Structure 1
Amino acid sequence: MASVRVWLGIFLFFLISGLALAAEVEILKDDAPKAGAWRLRAGLLVYDAATREYTASGGVELVQGDRRLSCEWAKVNEVTKVARLKGQVLIVLGEDRLSGQEGVFNLVTRCGEMHGARLFLKRNNFHVESVLIRKTGEQTFYAEEAVVTTCDAARPPWSFKTRKINVVVEGQARAQGTTLRLAGLPVLYTPFLSLPVLRQRQSGLLLPHMNFDRSSGLVLEFPVYWAINNHSDATFYQNYLSRRGYMQGFDLRYRGFKDAAGDLRLVYLKDGKADAPVPDRYWVTGMVNQPLTDRLQLRLSLDRVSDSDFYKTFNYGYLGLNTFNRDLLGEYGRMLEQQEVSTRLSTLLLSGNFPRVQLTAFGRAYQRLNVAEPFPFNQAPGVRLATLTTPLGKLPFMVGLESTYGYYFQNQGGRGHRLDFHPQVWFHSDLFSLLSMEARGGFRESIFLVDREDPAGRPVSSSSRELYDLKVSLASTWFRDFGREEGKTTFYRHYLRPEITYWNTPKYNPRLIPFFYPFDWGWVDRTSRNLPVREGEEPLGGVNMLTYGFSTSLLKRSETPQGQAEVRDLLWFRLLHGYFFNSTNMGIDGLPQHHHQFSEFLGEMEIYPYKRLILGSEVGLSPYAESFSRAKVKFVYFDRFRRQYLDVSYLFIKNYANQINVAAYLDLIPSLKTWVTFNHTFLYTKKLERQYGVILQRQCWGVAITITDRPDDTRVGVSLFVPSLMERTRRLPVNFPSEARFVKD
């Protein structure tokens, strides 16, 4: 009986005191109906009915959805909804963490404070360590005497020590009384500082770029980024050039619906250097793609500059032409002319696609930078009309029309009209099931109305030109499959296509027509005069030639793990030769270009050993004593996932070119990357531009060093970047290819 009384007493004690061992209870069920009740778990749990408080110790956990609080000891009041936490406190808020020694947390408002605290925001590895951190809202925090960094190390390479800081998740961290520390040493103080707390676009300071060259001296570039709204932003570039003065740059960008996009750049420098070509130096440039309706699209390319040396002198840093071209190529699929081009082009184009008709209105404005060259002819307005080929009933004929009009004018000189009317007829027939015949014939009427003659050119008057063009091809296509067996999904197919083509377009006297359109005077130069005419070329006049040859290709057909068919090129080769029935071609300068009776043998080949590698070559061999006249060789390796790129090419044109070009970007190890662009000519001793660079990247900081060696100068550039905080400033230093032949793994 005595033992029974003892156990009964123990039971009554637990019942009265509310003590439970290794217990779990639901609390605050009615205070947060949407989020659900909190579940309180602990090794030892005591409930005081008088004060309505839970006292928990030993592995305490409070859980609500993806929110979790853990500590060694806690007291939760059901009346105030406040939890007091002590001992290795950790508050888990989705992917983010708030930890400390002790704290107070309201379980309904989910606000509170932590002492001896550390806040970690995972999305961009943002750390805040402070004696006191308050959670002031669902996405906001406040801290005093805090240290801020994105480094995981206990002693971070860099950090900001701040007196007060307000942090908005997916927003900004605004700090007061802030000191930048490198390796723990204070190096820079600012009364106010704003840092992005997200990887998306956010206004703020971007890290500076430093450059040094003999021409401009020390160059310091300080960019400021402004996220205007969800679809537009801007960057202001403050540049100090020790030998020239202050340069201001401005970029404005927008992105819209249905691939609408625009980039506008303005750069201005009041050049204080004595040998500057002009004192006021500027660059106005940009591109726009703007769909107007489902059928109409507007495209703009703008490129105006103060002087011919601007691109060469300032082609570095954020504002350099090469950097801007890489951005344009990735966004618009086109870019500005390279810095060596002395005639800059700006265009405005409005294109419309209608049923069976494409109508384009455009204007072209040229800027002459080399005063020794003649003034180019601008064109505005220009109109082009092209129809789709239309069948003539059930006959094996199709018809089409291409017509253009333009008004041409020089800034100083001639001007006039050009109208080109070009209807064409196509014929196709399969002969004996093995041989196909394709023929195309057209008549071209061109009318030239001269309003004013070019005083620097040959005197011309209004005139017209009538031409016909004829092309007839006979070809046959054969193929054979290898390894194609029942049950196998992979096999190879080999194609062989022999072809013979006759081209005929009569000659005319180019000196009787104005030089409005460059190809009105001719279409070949001395380097291509002995080559056979290839498919895709459209010679305007003076052609009477028979070309013949064959092409062959090897394809691999397989299936993906999902059962979809995949066809990949492995080899392509073409060999062409030709016979001229005349003795001259029409040169682009209006002068006849003499050629041999038999053309050069032209061989072209591309090999794709596997998905990331291309080997290519082109060889021209004269049947006369001239031997090899040209050669091109290329080696391209590209791994877009591992960021490895190597492009080596060699070009030889007898008496004109003998050059090797190398572009490489190698991700050697996670913390070290390097790149090089190298151009060298063997024709003369004058060296071409070479660029070398290295990127050293650690977990929370990085530096990029670039050395550019030009014939007239050497530049050294240094850029700092902070991963996660300033990803937008990190551009790849070379143009990665985007050819479809690089098939994704």
Structure 2
Amino acid sequence: MKNYCIVLRGWAFLLLALLMLEGGAACAEEYKDTPGAPVSLEAEELVFDQKTGEYQAQGDVLLRRGDQTLAAESMQFNQTTGDAQAVGHVRLFDPEALVTGERLRLNLNKETGSIENGRIFLPKANFHVAGNEIEKLGEDHYRIQNGTFTTCDGERPSWKFSARQLDVTVGGYAWAKHVLFHLYDVPVLYLPVMGYPVKVERESGFLMPRFGQSNKRGTELSLVYYQVLDRHMDATFYLDYFSKLGVGKGVEYRYFLGHDNDGEALLYHVSGLNGHSDQVAVNWQHMGTLPGQVWLTSKVQYVSSRNYFSDFGEVAGEYNRSRAESVVALSRHWGNNNLAGQFKYIRQLNQDDDEPSVDDDQTLQRLPEVRFNMLRQRLGYSPFYFRLDSSGTYLWQKKGAEVARLSLRPVVSTQFTPGDWLELGAEIGYRQKLYAWSGDQEYKGIPDATLRMGTRLSRVYDVAGDTVSKIQHVLQPEVIYYYVPKVNQDDLPQFESFDFVGRRNTVSYGLVNRFVAKLESPTGQADYHEFLYLRLAQEYDLSLTEHTDLLAAERPEAERWSDLRTELIFRPTRHSYFDLDTRLATSGGGLRTFLAEGGLEDGKGNAASLRYRYRRDEQEYLGAKLDLAVLKPVYLNYEQRYALDESTTLENVLNLEYRAQCWSMFLSWRDRGDEQEFTISFALTGIGKTSHFGSRLEPTM
């Protein structure tokens, strides 16, 4: 027997004395002796039949039990059986759903019943269901005859599904038979059966398809199924159709193993059509800590041909790639020591799938490479410090030498600050290199020395503005002398720049300016913003000898001064920036490189940026990007890349999204000169969209 307690309000308190005499004492007794959640009933008029145990309630009736509330204009409630019948503006509330209708029959004990001309609203998923008759089959289970469902608000939703029979499980799925998909009130698609997720957590199921047209791939269609495997892993299965290339099949697997271990893997295959050969791609990316505090990173990538990148690459740097790299690295850090090793394999790719690349045969592979670094540490109580850099590499080529290379460079350094304003530093190192191949070996030792002098000067200026109260200017000049003697290295193998250390006798200077603003917030809390960074650097050659450093790499043999490098980082506000990096030949010849980029954004989805890149006799390039949200509900993204030296547009990309309350439509147009592509996709709230074909190799994590 359940517990029932009656609560009266308004003029119905007059009836309380009668209930206390005729049955009110029984209510108090049942509430005390019987387990279970109590039921309270409130109404403007309330009549109780003690023989049948039934209440007749009229006017703003509220029946509560636990976290459920039933409201209506009038109600009959039997405290013995738990049956309730409600009429007139019926509303049934609980934390998961709101059920409304004209007439309701409900058994509180079994949580079953039915409602006429009813509606169900699930607020967490914004899910609306309506039907001529809704049956409540259990706590979270409903069955609807001749019903509709949607995630759109309003009496005339933008889209909806209608079905002859619909089963809804809150926190599960809505399963429907003989389904029609409507745009507003117009049916446009028939499905014999379908399932729709009715929860906010991720759920397995089909995503909305993606359609497209490309002059390289032809007509495109992507069907995607998303499968939840566990709380920490899932998989996406792709079935793609390209009328000019073939059929693509693939699976993308993502996992999170706890703490900091996560990764994803992709396997994709395209069956060739119209004379195109099959194409295969494999990609595995992982980051995480193994037992023993060993850090593992991997980026393994394999493609069957260079055509794969040109056919399926979607962004610059991907579709014009000519090689695939695979790297697996392990590292362990303890104290001041760090041990790291990696396997790196580079595969050069030709446009011709049948002939191996000559470059691929000569490509230098590192299988493996191991580095041990001892970070700087003080030698006892002396003013000297010790550091060790070392590496061991096995260099291998398909058609070429196989050489083991060992490099050790111990370094002793010291630093003084006389007068607490001047910084003096000195460093002496010795690079020992050893090569071994085919039973032979060669080694060579090369010393080096560095002297550094610098200081840090600062001054604070009072601005007393509404937002900026003070500005600090920091000036950091430095002068560095490098020396490496000339050592004959003709007997050593020369595979790359690392294998040759040239003589060096140079002096370089650097001048850094920093400007930091102190910002006063309305709450009085201070905030600091570095709005300007400017660095000038240049090197002078004392002996006009060969060099290996970056600043001198582009210096003509007869010039003592290297290019003047200027770096500028300007952040006038939190939402704007301008970056500049230039190299100027001071002895004549003008600019060698000029890289500039600037942009604005308002934090509301509107942004614009412009990028310019110039390398003398190599490249002159302009890139622009625009994001607009001011046209809501239409969102626009536009990108353009233009080669100024060739007067050629490299790429135009336009993305449009129409974002409604319960659905979105995506249009994308891409023009690369030799390829034009147009794609369209949709997303319904509760069903994600297919954002790319399964051929995409760039990671999503």
TM range (shorter): 0.7 to 0.9
Distance 2:526 2:144 in 1: 58
Greater Cα offset, 682-691 or 280-289? 682-691
Match of 1:455 in 2: none
**Alignment equivalent of 2:413, drawn from 421, 426, 429:** 426
CA apart distance, 1:716: 0.7
Equivalences for 1:286-685 in 2 at 5 Å?
A: 286-293=284-291, 295-316=293-314, 338-370=318-350, 371=357, 373-374=359-360, 375-451=362-438, 462-483=441-462, 490-506=469-485, 512-516=491-495, 518-520=496-498, 541-558=502-519, 566-583=527-544, 585-586=546-547, 594-595=556-557, 596-639=559-602, 641-685=603-647
Match of 1:280 in 2: 278
User: What percent identity do the matched residue pairs reach?
Assistant: 25
In 2 relative to 1, CA 588–266 (structure 1 residues): closer, same or farther, beyond 3 Å? farther
Distance 2:554 2:458 in 1: 42
- Cα-to-partner distance string for 1:260-319 (whole Å, 9 max, x where unaligned): 111001110111122x3xx12011012011311362121111111011121221235xxx
Distance 2:456 2:89 in 1: 77
Distance 1:519 1:202 in 2: 53
Distance 1:582 1:648 in 2: 42
Distance 1:339 1:462 in 2: 43
Equivalences for 1:726-745 in 2 at 5 Å?
A: 726=688
- Cα-to-partner distance string for 1:319-353 (whole Å, 9 max, x where unaligned): xx78xxxxxxxxxxxxxx63323121101111111
How many aligned positions are there? 668
- Secondary structure of 1:711 counterpart: coil
Work out whether residues 208 and 690 of structure 2, in 8 Å CA contact, stay in contact via their aligned partners in 1: no
Distance 1:297 1:38 in 2: 59
Greater Cα offset, 390-399 or 595-604? 595-604
Instruction: State the TM-score, normalized to the length of structure 1.
Output: 0.83
- The two structures, once aligned, show a CA RMSD in angstroms of 3.2
CA apart distance, 1:74: 0.7
- Cα-to-partner distance string for 1:203-262 (whole Å, 9 max, x where unaligned): 000011112111111000010000011111000111111122211121000012112111
Work out whether residues 681 and 690 of structure 2, in 8 Å CA contact, stay in contact via their aligned partners in 1: no
State the AA in 1 paired with 2:305: D
Match of 2:131 in 1: 130
- Cα-to-partner distance string for 1:69-116 (whole Å, 9 max, x where unaligned): 211111110001121111111111125311111112223444432221
In 2 relative to 1, CA 638–263 (structure 1 residues): closer, same or farther, beyond 3 Å? farther
Distance 1:171 1:661 in 2: 47
Distance 1:507 1:660 in 2: 43
Work out whether residues 17 and 48 of structure 1, in 8 Å CA contact, stay in contact via their aligned partners in 2: no
Match of 1:69 in 2: 70
Distance 1:176 1:32 in 2: 44
Work out whether residues 721 and 730 of structure 1, in 8 Å CA contact, stay in contact via their aligned partners in 2: no
**Alignment equivalent of 2:657, drawn from 695, 710, 734:** 695
Match of 1:537 in 2: none
State the AA in 2 paired with 1:369: L
In 2 relative to 1, CA 690–504 (structure 1 residues): closer, same or farther, beyond 3 Å? farther
State the AA in 1 paired with 2:322: S
Work out whether residues 399 and 424 of structure 1, in 8 Å CA contact, stay in contact via their aligned partners in 2: yes
CA apart distance, 1:484: 9.0
In 2 relative to 1, CA 541–87 (structure 1 residues): closer, same or farther, beyond 3 Å? farther
CA apart distance, 1:372: 5.1
CA apart distance, 1:489: 10
Greater Cα offset, 166-175 or 301-310? 166-175
Equivalences for 1:57-136 in 2 at 5 Å?
A: 57-64=58-65, 66-94=67-95, 96-136=97-137
State the AA in 2 paired with 1:393: G
Work out whether residues 81 and 107 of structure 1, in 8 Å CA contact, stay in contact via their aligned partners in 2: yes
CA apart distance, 1:514: 3.6
Distance 2:529 2:489 in 1: 46
CA apart distance, 1:388: 1.8
Match of 2:229 in 1: 228
- Cα-to-partner distance string for 1:7-53 (whole Å, 9 max, x where unaligned): xxx99999669999xxxx9998469956x423222222111112111
Distance 2:176 2:137 in 1: 16
In 2 relative to 1, CA 14–122 (structure 1 residues): closer, same or farther, beyond 3 Å? closer
CA apart distance, 1:625: 2.8
CA apart distance, 1:729: 5.2
Determine whether 1:53 maps to 2:54.
yes
Work out whether residues 472 and 501 of structure 1, in 8 Å CA contact, stay in contact via their aligned partners in 2: yes
In 2 relative to 1, CA 264–105 (structure 1 residues): closer, same or farther, beyond 3 Å? same
In 2 relative to 1, CA 490–11 (structure 1 residues): closer, same or farther, beyond 3 Å? closer
Distance 1:592 1:585 in 2: 11
In 2 relative to 1, CA 421–654 (structure 1 residues): closer, same or farther, beyond 3 Å? same
Match of 1:250 in 2: 251
- Secondary structure of 1:408 counterpart: strand
Q: Give structure 2 stretches of 5+ with no counterpart.
A: 1-11, 351-356
Greater Cα offset, 553-562 or 118-127? 553-562
Work out whether residues 18 and 48 of structure 1, in 8 Å CA contact, stay in contact via their aligned partners in 2: no
- Cα-to-partner distance string for 1:545-581 (whole Å, 9 max, x where unaligned): 2111311111123576788663321111112232112
CA apart distance, 1:359: 1.0
In 2 relative to 1, CA 84–618 (structure 1 residues): closer, same or farther, beyond 3 Å? same
In 2 relative to 1, CA 465–136 (structure 1 residues): closer, same or farther, beyond 3 Å? farther
Which structure carries more relative contact order (alpha carbon 8 Å, separation 6+)? 2
In 2 relative to 1, CA 483–68 (structure 1 residues): closer, same or farther, beyond 3 Å? farther
CA apart distance, 1:712: 1.0
- Cα-to-partner distance string for 1:418-459 (whole Å, 9 max, x where unaligned): 11111112211102222101222211111122249xxxxxxx
Match of 2:6 in 1: none
Work out whether residues 571 and 606 of structure 1, in 8 Å CA contact, stay in contact via their aligned partners in 2: yes
Distance 1:341 1:466 in 2: 39
Determine whether 1:180 maps to 2:181.
yes
- Cα-to-partner distance string for 1:339-371 (whole Å, 9 max, x where unaligned): 323121101111111122111121111111032
Work out whether residues 210 and 691 of structure 2, in 8 Å CA contact, stay in contact via their aligned partners in 1: no
Work out whether residues 668 and 674 of structure 1, in 8 Å CA contact, stay in contact via their aligned partners in 2: no
Determine whether 1:716 maps to 2:695.
no
Distance 1:677 1:32 in 2: 71
Match of 2:9 in 1: none
Work out whether residues 18 and 47 of structure 1, in 8 Å CA contact, stay in contact via their aligned partners in 2: no
State the AA in 2 paired with 1:668: V
In 2 relative to 1, CA 32–287 (structure 1 residues): closer, same or farther, beyond 3 Å? farther
- Secondary structure of 2:420 counterpart: coil
Distance 2:180 2:14 in 1: 62
